[in-house]
């Protein structure tokens, strides 16, 4: 573009000017960096310094600015200019603070600074300011799948914020599991008595709300599109199909109680042994009167067996705890005690789990005379007189207790649809022509909740135990399908109180998703990012790596198996860019070229100078901050490294590595987040993919006649400021032993 | 079903708990225990307890009537109140222990010859006699509780202390012939009799 | 007219020629110096003590305490009941609080009192002498009558159980009450604040019935005082005083220790600091004589 | 900063911990104007001082980095640090909020170059490390501090030390004349994300936190394990600096206790389970952790973590509320006395270090809040009578991080609903 004008501003403050020859850096920016304007300033981040830049933007039509000062993580707000592309050369945290002080290091320090100027200018040349705002997705309506307590709450909260909600509920009425309860656990002080569930009132509010539309007896036949432009086909029980356009989805599909029939040892399936839902049914029938068993006999004694089929370490039943069941059994015990204090009620538990204010409810049940026995039931027999055999863990003895009724506190099984881990191999086999797999695929598809027509499968990826939860502690709604948010017990085992809170949070995220989609902005964690991947499809080889590897299922395939990018689903991590073997995918401000040109901009000294060069590609989320903090702590690392921050290791294209090695770098080190089950990668698989890709780079290295040690991949945590220093210094020492790269001088 | 089995089944019913709630001082608080065990660890005579307070509470809930009421554990209480101030559920454990001991004692189920049981009985009888405790007769009766020979032996072993107290004017040999007492002894006795009558009626001892 | 007046509840052990008679004598001396007027509750009776539980039961014990309350309410209206004995204070205060909390108990108690023509209206306050000293006088106030300093005396403050739990002195913790230390410091002595057995139970009434178990407790209490370099132990409780002092010789005999640690009341320390003689402070009432204190008293 | 930045369509978020940052950012990323006020000089709150999170064992600063990046680039959020709310008047949709801004003595010119800290020699206890160590009286609170700006401790203002700091600053950022300011804002809704504080361990007298050097709180233990902490991540006990390899964790230290906090603080079981893994990380098989507990409350999939720790041979569990701690005078080791209630086993066990899993108490306990605010009996914020102010995160209930964020996101929507209503009314 003819209109681009490039300028570089070099700060000599914070001691940069004392330790480096700024004049020389200016010359490099001008001559090598080809910057139209180059200025230095003793205190660039202050108002006057920033004004200098603003004036040049206004008066000199500068469109691209290279700031050579502190880290991109510092003074971020000061160096933001609307509509102007900015690159940052990190002279402070990246050079001044990490290169040993003193004259002996003047030369290498200056070389390092000079390279960062070259890199900053080179990057800038390849950047364009993202235009964004494609305005493809403009629907701000929100679909809520499931009409239970979570779904109803989400819809009401969405409407209260002024947005339209559409509920799809598979049964003939709203209420879900909550509608089957006699009462619910107390959710506000004084936490001493079960409270009305309030399903009727909530459903009435929904009926009266003009912003909420309800489809009963309906399921989703297909979901296509992306945030801001989802198209939902809704199948009614009658067979009719209708369509709704929505901008985002809240999935509140709830849970199913664990099947008691799987617990024959605990009396599952025998007369007068019920699960918690069964007890609710009896209590509803009793309607405040004496609770009677199925055979009509009034219950005079009842035992609640906690953790039935839960917290199971044998792998047979649920391994997790469902969280709500202690409170639910306590509530149910109060049904009996409040009706007749003479009824014997025993809650048999291993750990009584009543967090927060729930402790008050526990106490209130004790006040009523509910007996709590720490014991583990080994056998329950049903019948006219039930018996529970158990180990009393306090009295340390085996015992048996008789009761008219036994209630098994079973767990929550999420209604999360198809498990993609199981789905993908079936689909691969089906696509390979396996007929049985095709049948299986179609059968699996019928169990799907959302029936997404995404390349990567019909439902949201599950986390653990089949729950559609986020893997992130700080970001519970950070989902792997942009614009789709799980809420309630489908996300995590929970009680009604938590589910309603959760539904409210999910409602916000859905609102945020439609707002972002309308503006063409990325969602978390690169929220606000207006760039999106562009592909030169004419160069595409239809290898499908990008469609398979995208962590967010953003890329579909057309009939010819070309990738179809859905920008609104994209999270701008660049994994597709890293995956692409022919390098046709790029972002306006982050591309194979923006990084590749930096790699190439570095001056590689001759072999005899004994100044190795090591390229470090550092993930901007954890590794780069750790490197910055090493600087902040004034820890020294080798001045032979040149560090480039990347969005995610998943975005690292192997071309950068081979380019670097061809250019004569002595080694390349990648620093990414933790991978594996407890991954830390904000883009899920970036670090893992990088490790995988680098494991395959051996052949290339061999062709170049290079040792495999010349490429390293490391997992780095944000707290590793001392460790990154050691990693770098050890690596430089290791390369030193290896000797200079034989490629030197050929680049 | 066999009798033994029936007993076992009955065991975990709330019957004994209800009995304790009705008849034992602060017995209604037994059900509030959450089995943390801080009482058990707080007792200065802890190692002397066959069953710790928290375990006794569980035994009560489990219906172990004979084991609880026949136990000497409650008599190990020194009334130091450590358990009570540390109990996170604020159970008046000291009082419950006193109450259980009293109940077991009144039912005649408490261990025979349990020294604290005997001493405590002696103490009460001593104090109601005159309205105030006669330290000398209390001490002597205590030492002679096991008979004349044992008493002389025990008293002799303590005689230096007695002599010391005597010299320090903190023991009055004349107390053996009467000593301190309230003047309105009749009224005092009437109060105790009436109080006992009311309590016995409530706890089912009057019949 | 005296500065402060209280209805005094000395308790059985603090009578003349009883085991804590030295407590009574020194308390009287101390009160004189502080211008406190103590009037004995007319015809008071025993509190029942904790150990009374076994035979006494619940209501009879409350009733006999209420008898004292009724007497005080009638004859010494408006005066707080002050006890020096920990057990008396605890027994009385426990009864008072239960009566305050339960109308039913109040009714039954008055039914029993009526048998002697008495009635309790529920108006008394029950306090320990230490509370009176700290709350009504304050440490500064306790300094006022001082004539001598206890300088150089290393004293372990042994609080024991029942002046400390379950009620205790306001502002003090159950595990590490510091008021005895503060009193010692107020009087110029050296308080051994790190003495860690200050709330260990001496065995209480079980000193009689379970001597071995109790003496193990007492041994810890005395041994630790020695470890901290104490020259004497000070306590606010007659049973603590008696048990800890009296059984040292027994422990020596059985276990070969050489304990000879004086155990005094705070009232004795104060009497001496206030210029009282050894006799005023009833120092002759010690089984284990405290020569250092006697020396100061004799100065 | 002046009142003009805010209107009755602005949301005020009080508290810059993870809940407050989340509430502010979620609203801002929905396009709302937000003012975020924080009492401390930096964002991050309680969680930023944790070494790792359960159950992933990941680092809280990782999420902090993302949130800080979101804040740096989002112009809808205005941040005010060292700021407290002193009064709120008005009603839902139209509040007038008075803020007190404490002087930082360092202005926006600061580049965090660190020259002032080099020049100053006075030291003050480091609150970031719960006072376990000291820091210079001119300081950057921690290495991810945002705003990345130094602070001059008021104790050296008006002294020669203060002047040294001022003289050392190359950009004139040290301003010793700064005064406390009062600012009034108009806002439409208020989110109270004021967080929690550890229950005062001194009050749990039987454990002798005030008497024994080697009895510490779970939060102090986080700092000991953290490489950025006072010991550089070595688990050295405060009493004598010795390696603490045999560590006792006492659960419910203040929680589930009517003498202290009535409620269960929810996080402590998981926190201690997590901390056993710090011991393992530091000492491998030579480490030993013992958890003394009443009930292990490893709710939902946290159960996986519990089961993992149960299988760890270096960790043992004793079902017991410890009765008391005494100190072995010879070696300074705490000795724990109590009874294992599973079968009645008495113990007197010596450990190198005791970590009290202290309970959560709302930070606002004892603080005067607007009359409109509804508190529950444990001082957690239930909301406001007029429905325009909301509690979020651990200010509203004892919550772990994940649930706090969930709660803050929900609170954020409730605030948005208020300002959207105002916007619709004014449109």
Question: How many Å apart are CA C141 and CA C132, to the nearest integer?
Answer: 11
In this prediction, residue A131 carries a pLDDT of 79
Residue A1, pLDDT score: 47
Average pLDDT over residues D406-410: 98
pLDDT for the residue D64: 97
Q: How far is the alpha carbon of D330 from chain A, nearest alpha carbon, in Å? A: 35
Q: What is the pLDDT of residue A256?
A: 98
Nearest CB neighbour to D206, from listed C175, C196, C227: C175
Q: Confirm whether A142-254+460-519 and A258-411 share one CATH topology.
A: yes
Report d(CA D281, CA C45) in Å as an integer. 66
Question: Is D210 inside any structural domain?
Answer: yes
pLDDT in tens, A439-450: 999 999 999 999
Query: Could you tell me if A82 lies within 8 Å of chain D, comparing CB atoms?
Result: no
D137: in domain = yes
The answer to whether residues D351 and D390 belong to one domain is: no
Q: Is residue D173 part of a domain?
A: no
Is D347 in the same domain as D390?
no
Structural domain including D276 reads 200-360
Contact state of D70 with A527 under an 8 Å Cβ cutoff? yes
Residue D4 pLDDT exceeds 60: no
Q: Are strands D334-340 and D345-350 parallel, antiparallel or unpaired?
A: antiparallel
Rounded distance between C-alpha atoms, residue C238 and residue C268, angstroms? 13
Higher-confidence position of A2 and A390? A390
- Whole-structure pTM value: 0.96
Q: Where are the domains of chain A?
A: 1-129, 142-254+460-519, 258-411, 534-577, 604-747
Instruction: Give all domains of chain B, ordered by start, each with its CATH number.
Output: 3-107 (1.10.1060.10), 115-203 (no CATH)
Q: What's the pLDDT tens digit per position in A290-327?
A: 999 999 999 999 999 999 999 999 999 999 999 999 99
Provide the 3-class DSSP secondary structure of residue C211.
helix
Q: What is the mean pLDDT of residues C266-278?
A: 97
Q: Which H or E element spans position C128?
A: strand C126-128
Indicate yes or no: CB of A505 within 8 angstroms of CB of D70: no
Nearest to A217 by CA among A266, A174, A268, A261: A174
> Is any Cβ of chain D less than 8 angstroms from the Cβ of A312?
no
Same domain for D184 and D257, yes or no, is no
CB D73 within 8 A of CB A72: no
D281 within some domain: yes
Closest CA of chain D from C294, distance in Å: 33
Quick one: average pLDDT of A45-65?
A: 97
Q: Considering only CA atoms, which of B101, B83, B91 is closest in space to residue B39?
A: B83
Distance from CA of C173 to the nearest CA of D (A): 7
Q: Which residues of B24-59 are buried (b: 16+ CB within 10 A; e: fewer)?
A: bbbbbbbbebbbbbbbbbbbbbbeebebbbbbbbbb
Residue D248 counted as domain residue: yes
Q: Do residues D45 and D132 share a domain?
A: no
* DSSP alpha helix (H) spans, B38-134: 38-42, 53-61, 65-69, 82-86, 93-107, 115-130
CA B136 remoteness from chain centre: 22
Q: Give chain D positions within 8 Å (CB) of C164.
A: none
CB-count burial class (<10 Å; 0-12, 13-18, 19+) for A742:
middle
Q: What is the mean pLDDT of residues D71-89?
A: 96
CB-based contact B85 C109, cutoff 8 Å:
no
Who's near B149: CB < 8 A, 6+ residues apart? none
CB-CB contact of A524 with A551 (8 Å): no
Say whether both D238 and D292 belong to one domain.
Answer: yes
Percent of chain C scored above 70 by pLDDT? Answer: 100
Q: Does D339 touch chain B (CB under 8 A)?
A: yes
> What residues 586-605 of chain A have any CB closer than 8 A to a CB of chain D?
none
d(CA B81, CA B95): 9
Establish if D328 belongs to a structural domain.
Answer: yes
Q: Which range has the worst mean pLDDT, A337-351, B33-47, B163-177, D372-386?
A: B163-177
State what percent of residues in chain D have pLDDT above 70. Answer: 99
From B140, B164, B142, select the one nearest C22 (Cα to Cα): B164
Whether residue D344 sits in one domain with residue D220: yes
Q: For residue D427, what are its two tokens?
A: 């449109």
Instruction: Compute φ and ψ for B85, nearest 5 degrees.
Output: -75, -20
Averaged pLDDT for residues A258-281: 97
Over 80: is that where the pLDDT of A516 sits? yes
One DSSP character per residue, A292-311 reads B-TTSPBP-EEEEETTTT-S
Is C75 an 8 Å CB contact of chain B?
Answer: no
Residue B73 φ/ψ, nearest 5 degrees: -55, -45
Domain boundary among D360, D394, D411: D360
Q: Which residues contact A487 (CB under 8 A, 6 or more apart)?
A: A150, A151, A154, A250, A251, A252, A499, A502, A503, A505, A506, A507
Q: Are B55 and D344 inside 8 Å of each other by CB?
A: yes
In a domain, D289, yes or no: yes
**Are residues A624 and A670 in contact, defined by beta-carbon separation less than 8 angstroms?**
no
Q: Does domain A604-747 have CATH number 1.10.357?
A: no
pLDDT digits (tens, 9 = 90+) for C114-142: 999 999 999 999 999 999 999 999 999 99
CB A451 within 8 A of CB D39: no
Structure tokens at A469: 């939860």
Chain B residues within 8 angstroms (CB to CB) of chain A: 5, 8-9, 11-14, 17, 31-32, 34-35, 54-55, 58-59, 61-62, 89
**Own/partner pairs, A161-165, CB within 8 angstroms, 24+ separation:** A161/A507, A161/A511, A161/D413, A161/D416, A161/D417, A161/D420, A162/A211, A162/D417, A162/D420, A162/D421, A162/D424, A163/A211, A163/A511, A163/A514, A164/A140, A164/A211, A164/A212, A164/A213, A165/A141, A165/A211, A165/A212, A165/A213
Chain A contact residues (CB < 8 Å to B): 301, 344, 346, 352, 362-363, 366-367, 369, 371-374, 387, 392, 394-395, 399-402
Instruction: Quickly state the pLDDT bin for B176 (edges 50, 70, 90).
Output: low
Q: Let me know: does A267 contact A381? Beta carbons within 8 Å.
A: yes
The pLDDT of residue A493 is 97
Closest approach of B31 to chain A, Cα-based (Å)? 6
**Minimal Cα–Cα distance from C268 to chain B, Å?**
15
In tens, the pLDDT along A662-691 reads 999 999 999 999 999 889 999 999 999 999
Q: Grade residue D300 by pLDDT with cuts at 50, 70 and 90.
A: very high
Contact of C28 with B168, CB cutoff 8 Å? no
With cut-offs at 50, 70 and 90, classify the pLDDT of residue A479. Answer: confident
Query: CA-CA distance, D79 to D36, in Å (whole number)?
Result: 5
Tokens of C138: 């304050």
Distance CA D231, CA D225 (A): 8
Partners of B31 on chain A (C-beta within 8 Å) are: 366-367, 369, 371
Q: Are B58 and B52 contacting, i.e. CB atoms less than 8 angstroms apart?
A: no
Residue A37 burial (CB < 10 Å; 0-12/13-18/19+)?
Answer: middle
A739 touches chain D (CB under 8 A): no
d(CA A184, CA A539): 60
Tell me the CATH number of domain A1-129, given options 3.40.50.1400, 3.30.160.60, 3.30.70.360, 3.40.50.960.
Answer: 3.40.50.960
- Residue A713 has phi, psi (to 5 degrees) of -125, 130
Confidence of residue D2 (pLDDT cuts 50, 70, 90): very low
Are residue D352 and residue D399 in the same domain, yes or no? no
Is D110 a member of any domain?
no
Mutate to test the interface with D, among B29, B37, B44, B67 (most CBs of D within 10 A): B37
Claim to verify: residue D8 and residue D95 sit in the same structural domain? yes
**D contacts of A674 (beta carbons < 8 Å):** 58
Residues of chain D neighbouring C173 (CB-CB closer than 8 A): 205
pLDDT of B15:
85
pLDDT digits (tens, 9 = 90+) for A391-440: 999 999 999 999 999 999 999 999 999 999 999 999 999 999 999 999 99
Residue D371, token pair as written in the block:
């009359």
D360, D377, D394 — which closes off a domain? Answer: D360
Q: Indicate yes or no: CB of B9 within 8 angstroms of CB of A401.
A: yes
| CATH number, residue D318 | 3.50.50.60
Query: What secondary structure letter does DSSP report for D126?
Result: -
> Is chain C in touch with chain A: ≥3 Cβ pairs within 8 A?
no
Q: Give the number of domains in chain D.
A: 3
pLDDT at B207 > cutoff 70: no
pLDDT of residue B144: 66
Please tell me whether residues D367 and D393 are part of one structural domain: yes
pLDDT at D1 exceeding the cut of 90: no
Long-range Cβ pairs for the range A197-202 (8 Å, 24+): A197/A496, A199/A149, A199/A152, A199/A174, A199/A175, A202/A149, A202/A152, A202/A153, A202/A156, A202/A174
Over residues B7-29, the mean pLDDT reads 78
Chain A: partners with 3+ C-beta pairs within 8 Å: B, D
Count of CB atoms within 10 A of residue A99's CB?
23
For A434, what's the count of Cα atoms within 13 Å in the CB-facing half-sphere? Answer: 13
Q: How far away is chain D from the Cα of B5, in angstroms, using its nearest Cα?
A: 23
Residue carrying the six token digits 């189920």: B109
Give the CATH H-level superfamily of domain A258-411. FAD/NAD(P)-binding domain (3.50.50.60)
B156 — pLDDT class (breaks 50, 70, 90): low
Q: Write down the pLDDT at residue A134.
A: 65
Q: DSSP letters of A9-72?
A: EEE-TTTHHHHS-HHHHHHHHHHTS--SEEEEETTTTSHHHHHHHHHHHHHS---EEEEEES-T
Tens digit of pLDDT for each residue in A537-581? 999 999 999 999 999 999 999 999 999 999 999 999 999 999 999
- Kindly list the residues of chain B whose beta carbon comes within 8 Å of any beta carbon in chain D: 34-42, 46-47, 51-52, 54-55, 82, 85-86, 88-90
In order of their start, the domains of chain C are: 4-128 (1.20.1050.140), 145-298 (3.40.50.11810)
Domain termination residue (choose one: D341, D360, D379): D360
Query: Which residues does chain B have within 8 Å of residue C287's beta carbon, measured at their own beta carbons?
Result: 161, 164-165, 168, 170
Whether the CB-CB separation of A122 and A601 falls below 8 Å is answered with: yes
Are chains D and B in contact at 3+ CB pairs closer than 8 Å? yes
Q: Has residue C164 got a pLDDT over 70? A: yes
When the pLDDT of each residue in chain A is averaged and rounded to a whole number, the result is: 96
- Tell whether D153 and D92 lie within a shared domain: no
Smallest CA–CA distance, residue D204 to chain A, in Å, is 20
Q: Kindly tell me the burial class for residue D232, based on how many C-beta atoms sit within 10 Å of its own C-beta (0-12, 13-18, 19 or more).
A: exposed
Q: Please tell me whether residues D184 and D210 are part of one structural domain.
A: no
Contact call for A371 and B14, based on CB within 8 A: yes
Percentage of chain D beyond pLDDT 90 is 96
CATH class for the domain made up of A534-577:
alpha beta
| CATH match for A142-254+460-519 among 3.50.50.60, 3.30.930.10, 3.40.50.2000, 3.40.50.300 | 3.50.50.60
A135: confidence class by pLDDT, cuts 50, 70, 90: low
Enumerate the β-bridge partners of residue A6: A64
C173 contact D CB<8A: yes
Give the pLDDT confidence of C53-78 residue by residue, as tens digits. 999 999 999 999 999 999 999 999 99
Pairing outcome for strands D324-327 and D334-340? antiparallel
D205 CB within 8 Å of a chain C CB: yes
Is the C-alpha dihedral spanning A350, A356, A359, A361 positive or negative? negative
* Tens digit of each residue's pLDDT (9 = 90 or more) over B75-130: 999 999 999 999 999 999 999 999 999 999 999 999 999 999 999 999 999 999 99
Answer yes or no: do D119 and D207 share one domain. no
């Amino acid at each position: 573009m003819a209109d681009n004008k490039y300028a570089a501003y070099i700060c000599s403050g914070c001691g940069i000017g004392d330790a480096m020859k700024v004049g020389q850096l200016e010359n490099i920016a001008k001559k090598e960096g080809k910057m139209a304007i180059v200025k230095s300033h003793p205190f660039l981040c202050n108002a006057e310094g920033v004004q200098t830049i603003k004036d040049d933007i206004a008066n000199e039509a500068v469109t691209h600015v290279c700031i050579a000062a502190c880290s991109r993580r510092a003074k971020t707000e000061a160096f933001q200019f609307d509509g102007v592309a900015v690159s940052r050369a990190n002279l402070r945290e990246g050079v001044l603070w990490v290169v040993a002080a003193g004259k002996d290091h003047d030369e290498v320090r200056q070389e390092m600074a000079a390279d960062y100027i070259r890199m900053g200018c080179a990057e800038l040349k390849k950047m364009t300011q993202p235009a964004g705002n494609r305005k493809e997705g403009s629907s701000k309506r929100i679909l809520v799948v499931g009409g239970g307590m979570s779904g109803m709450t989400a819809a009401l909260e969405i409407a209260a914020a002024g947005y339209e909600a559409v509920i799809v509920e598979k049964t003939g009425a709203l209420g879900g599991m909550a509608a089957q309860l006699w009462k619910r656990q107390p959710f506000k002080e004084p936490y001493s008595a079960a409270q009305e569930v309030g399903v009727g009132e909530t459903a009435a509010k929904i009926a009266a709300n003009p912003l909420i539309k309800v489809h009963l007896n309906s399921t989703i036949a297909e979901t296509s599109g992306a945030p801001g432009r989802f198209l939902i086909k809704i199948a009614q029980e009658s067979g009719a199909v209708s369509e709704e356009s929505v901008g985002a989805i809240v999935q509140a599909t709830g849970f199913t109680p664990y099947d008691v029939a799987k617990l024959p040892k605990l009396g599952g399936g025998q007369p007068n042994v019920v699960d918690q839902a069964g007890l609710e049914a009896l209590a509803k029938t009793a309607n405040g009167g004496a609770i009677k068993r199925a055979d009509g006999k009034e219950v005079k004694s009842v035992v609640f067996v906690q953790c039935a089929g839960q917290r199971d370490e044998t792998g047979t039943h649920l391994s997790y705890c469902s969280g709500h069941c202690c409170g639910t059994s306590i509530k149910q015990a109060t049904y009996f005690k409040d009706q007749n204090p003479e009824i014997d009620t025993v809650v048999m538990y291993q750990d009584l789990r009543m967090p927060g204010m729930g402790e008050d409810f526990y106490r209130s049940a004790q006040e009523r005379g509910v007996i709590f026995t720490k014991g583990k039931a080994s056998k329950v027999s049903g019948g006219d007189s039930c018996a529970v055999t158990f180990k009393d863990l306090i009295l340390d003895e085996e015992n048996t207790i008789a009761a008219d009724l036994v209630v098994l506190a079973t767990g929550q099984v999420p209604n999360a649809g198809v498990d993609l881990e199981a789905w993908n191999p079936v689909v691969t086999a089906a696509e390979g022509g396996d007929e049985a797999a095709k049948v299986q695929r179609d059968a699996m598809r019928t169990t799907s909740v959302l029936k997404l027509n995404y390349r990567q499968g019909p439902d949201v990826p599950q986390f653990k135990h089949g729950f559609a939860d986020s893997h992130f502690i700080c970001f519970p709604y950070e989902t792997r399908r942009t614009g789709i948010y799980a809420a309630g017990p489908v996300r995590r085992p929970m009680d009604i109180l938590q589910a309603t809170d959760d539904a409210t949070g999910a409602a916000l995220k859905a609102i945020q998703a439609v707002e972002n989609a309308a503006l063409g902005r990325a969602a978390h964690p690169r929220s606000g990012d207006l760039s999106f991947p562009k592909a030169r499809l004419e160069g595409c080889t239809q290898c499908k790596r990008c469609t398979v590897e995208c962590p967010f299922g953003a890329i579909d395939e057309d009939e010819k198996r070309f990738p179809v990018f859905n920008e609104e689903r994209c999270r701008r991590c660049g994994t597709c860019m890293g995956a692409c073997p022919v390098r046709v995918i790029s972002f306006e401000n982050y591309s194979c070229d923006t990084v590749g040109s930096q790699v190439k901009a570095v001056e590689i000294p001759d072999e005899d100078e004994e100044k190795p060069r090591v390229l470090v590609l550092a993930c901007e989320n954890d590794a780069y901050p750790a490197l910055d903090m090493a600087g902040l702590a004034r820890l020294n690392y080798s001045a032979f490294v040149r560090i480039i921050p990347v969005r995610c290791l998943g975005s690292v294209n192997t071309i950068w590595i081979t380019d670097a090695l061809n250019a004569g770098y002595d080694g390349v080190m990648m620093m990414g987040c933790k991978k594996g089950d407890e991954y830390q990668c904000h883009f899920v698989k970036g670090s893992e993919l990088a490790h995988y890709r680098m494991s395959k780079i051996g052949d290339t290295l061999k062709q170049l006649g290079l040792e495999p040690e010349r490429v390293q991949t490391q997992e780095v945590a944000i707290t590793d400021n001392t460790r990154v220093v050691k990693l770098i210094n050890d690596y430089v020492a290791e390369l030193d032993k290896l000797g200079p790269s034989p490629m030197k001088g050929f680049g | 079903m066999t009798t033994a089995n029936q007993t076992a089944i009955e065991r975990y019913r709330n019957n004994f708990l209800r009995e304790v709630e009705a008849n034992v001082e602060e017995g209604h608080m037994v059900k509030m225990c959450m089995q943390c065990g801080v009482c058990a660890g707080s007792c200065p005579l802890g190692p002397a307890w066959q069953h710790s307070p928290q375990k006794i509470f569980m035994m009560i809930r489990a219906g172990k009537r004979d084991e609880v009421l026949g136990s000497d554990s409650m008599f190990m209480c020194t009334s130091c109140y450590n358990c009570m101030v540390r109990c996170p559920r604020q159970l008046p454990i000291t009082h419950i222990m006193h109450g259980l001991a009293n109940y077991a004692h009144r039912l005649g189920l408490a261990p025979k010859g349990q020294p604290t049981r005997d001493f405590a009985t002696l103490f009460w009888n001593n104090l109601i006699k005159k309205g105030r405790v006669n330290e000398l007769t209390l001490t002597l009766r205590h030492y002679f509780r096991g008979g004349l020979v044992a008493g002389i032996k025990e008293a002799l072993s303590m005689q230096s202390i007695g002599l010391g107290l005597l010299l320090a004017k903190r023991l009055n040999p004349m107390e053996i012939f009467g000593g301190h007492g309230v003047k309105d002894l009749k009224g005092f006795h009437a109060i105790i009799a009436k109080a006992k009558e009311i309590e016995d009626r409530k706890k089912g001892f009057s019949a | 007219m005296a500065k402060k007046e209280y209805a005094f509840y000395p308790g059985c052990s603090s009578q003349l020629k009883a085991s804590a008679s030295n407590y009574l004598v020194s308390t009287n001396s101390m009160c004189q110096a502080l211008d406190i007027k103590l009037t004995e509750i007319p015809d008071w009776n025993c509190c029942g003590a904790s150990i009374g539980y076994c035979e006494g039961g619940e209501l009879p014990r409350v009733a006999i305490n209420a008898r004292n309350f009724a007497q005080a309410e009638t004859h010494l209206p408006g005066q707080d009941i002050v006890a020096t004995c920990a057990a008396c204070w605890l027994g009385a205060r426990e009864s008072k609080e239960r009566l305050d909390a339960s109308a039913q108990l109040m009714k039954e108690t008055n039914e029993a009192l009526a048998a002697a023509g008495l009635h309790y209206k529920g108006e008394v306050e029950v306090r320990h002498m230490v509370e009176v000293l700290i709350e009504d006088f304050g440490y500064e106030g306790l300094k006022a009558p001082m004539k001598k300093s206890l300088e150089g005396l290393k004293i372990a403050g042994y609080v024991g159980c029942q002046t400390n739990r379950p009620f205790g002195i306001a502002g003090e913790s159950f595990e590490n009450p510091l008021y005895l230390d503060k009193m010692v410091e107020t009087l110029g002595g050296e308080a051994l604040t790190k003495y860690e057995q200050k709330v260990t139970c001496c065995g209480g009434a079980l000193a009689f019935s379970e001597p071995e178990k109790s003496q193990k407790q007492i041994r810890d209490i005395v041994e630790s005082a020695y470890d901290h370099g104490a020259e004497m132990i000070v306590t606010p409780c007659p049973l603590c005083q008696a048990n800890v002092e009296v059984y040292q010789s027994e422990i020596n005999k059985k276990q070969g220790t050489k304990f000879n640690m004086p155990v005094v009341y705070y009232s004795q320390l104060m009497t001496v600091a206030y210029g009282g003689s050894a006799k005023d402070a009833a120092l002759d009432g010690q089984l284990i004589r405290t020569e250092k204190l006697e020396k100061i008293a004799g100065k | 900063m002046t009142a003009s930045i805010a209107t009755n369509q602005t949301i005020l978020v009080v508290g810059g911990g993870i809940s407050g940052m989340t509430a502010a950012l979620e609203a801002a990323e929905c396009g709302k104007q937000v003012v975020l006020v924080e009492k401390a000089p930096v964002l991050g709150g309680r969680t930023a001082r944790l070494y790792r999170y359960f159950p992933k064992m990941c680092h809280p600063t990782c999420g902090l980095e993302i949130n800080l990046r979101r804040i740096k680039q989002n112009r809808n959020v205005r941040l005010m640090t060292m700021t407290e709310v002193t009064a709120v008047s008005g009603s839902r949709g139209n509040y007038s909020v008075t803020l007190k801004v404490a002087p930082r003595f360092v202005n926006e010119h600061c580049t965090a170059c660190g020259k002032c800290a080099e020049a100053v020699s006075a030291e003050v206890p480091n609150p970031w490390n719960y006072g376990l160590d000291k820091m210079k009286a001119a300081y950057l609170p921690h290495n991810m501090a945002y705003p990345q700006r130094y602070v001059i401790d008021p104790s050296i203002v008006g002294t020669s030390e203060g002047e040294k700091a001022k003289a050392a600053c190359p950009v004139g950022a040290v301003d010793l004349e700064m005064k406390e300011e009062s600012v009034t804002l108009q806002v439409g809704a208020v989110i109270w994300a004021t967080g929690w504080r550890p229950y005062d361990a001194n009050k749990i007298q039987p454990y002798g936190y005030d008497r024994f050097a080697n009895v510490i709180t779970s939060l102090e233990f986080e700092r000991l394990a953290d490489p950025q902490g006072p010991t550089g991540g070595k688990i050295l006990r405060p009493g004598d600096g010795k390696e603490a390899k045999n560590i006792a964790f006492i659960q419910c230290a203040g929680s589930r206790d009517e003498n202290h906090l009535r409620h269960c603080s929810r996080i402590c079981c998981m926190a201690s389970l997590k901390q056993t893994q710090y011991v393992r990380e530091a000492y491998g098989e030579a480490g030993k952790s013992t958890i003394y507990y009443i009930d292990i409350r490893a709710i939902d999939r946290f159960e996986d973590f519990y089961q993992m720790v149960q299988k760890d041979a270096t960790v043992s569990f004793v079902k017991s509320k410890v009765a008391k701690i005494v100190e072995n005078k010879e070696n300074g080791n705490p000795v724990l006395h109590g009874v294992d209630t599973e079968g009645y086993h008495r113990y007197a066990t010596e450990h190198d270090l005791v970590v009290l899993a202290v309970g959560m108490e709302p930070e606002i306990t004892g603080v005067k809040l607007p009359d409109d605010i509804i508190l529950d009996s444990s001082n957690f914020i239930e909301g406001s009578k007029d429905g325009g102010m909301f509690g979020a995160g651990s200010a509203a209930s004892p919550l772990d991080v994940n649930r706090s964020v969930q709660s803050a996101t929900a609170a954020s929507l409730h605030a948005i609903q208020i300002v959207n209503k105002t916007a619709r009314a004014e449109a």
